Amino acid sequence: MTATPSDPMPAVFLDRDGVINVPVVTDGKPFPPATLADFRIIDGVAAAIVAFRDAGYRIIVATNQPDVATGKQDQAVVEAMHEKLKSELGVDDILVCYHTDEHACPCRKPKPGMLMEAQRKWNLDLTGSVMVGDRWRDIEAGQAVGCRTVFIDYGYAEKRPAAPDFIVKSLAESVALILPNHS
């Protein structure tokens, strides 16, 4: 059966800090880089994204960036980082939640609002999709919409996710699990 433009496509949802770019780890906890100069893409990410795209997946970044709401980060800096991701990696979309937990918004992971927004916007098949993240919030968001989940385990000093489908050490390592016929 040939897919038509109206058929839902699968996506690989990617968290940003720790999945795509190098996080700043302080006291065992990950934080986003403060400046565009400090924003470095992790080795192997570009090749992984090409492999996912070549296999027919949309590439959607879904990231919590609460430092904007708390005044620790300027939104223009975050947007410059995202422009870099779009130009260097060619991701299809970047969805951002600038809220803190106290805002109780539906888009802040672990709530699945960003993934559901992407599903509506891009006509995605969520059960055929995958959420890749390095924190429990990412995994819970993916599980909430029926995605397979891949946890990149850096051994952070924080809550661990419950029952991800796969545990890996990098996005590059996840390619063989998400695309089992990939060589």
Q: Which residues are catalytic?
A: 15, 17
φ/ψ of residue 89, rounded to 5: -115, -15
Quote the CA–CA distance of 105 and 152 in Å, as a whole number.
Answer: 25
Cβ neighbour number for residue 20 with a 10 Å cutoff: 27
* C-alpha triplet 56, 59, 64: angle, nearest 5°: 155
**Exposure of 141 in the CB half-sphere (CA atoms within 13 A):** 31
Residue 124: DSSP 8-state: B
- As a whole number of Å, the end-to-end CA separation of the chain is 25
Nearest CA-CA partner of 48 in 178, 172, 177, 183? 172
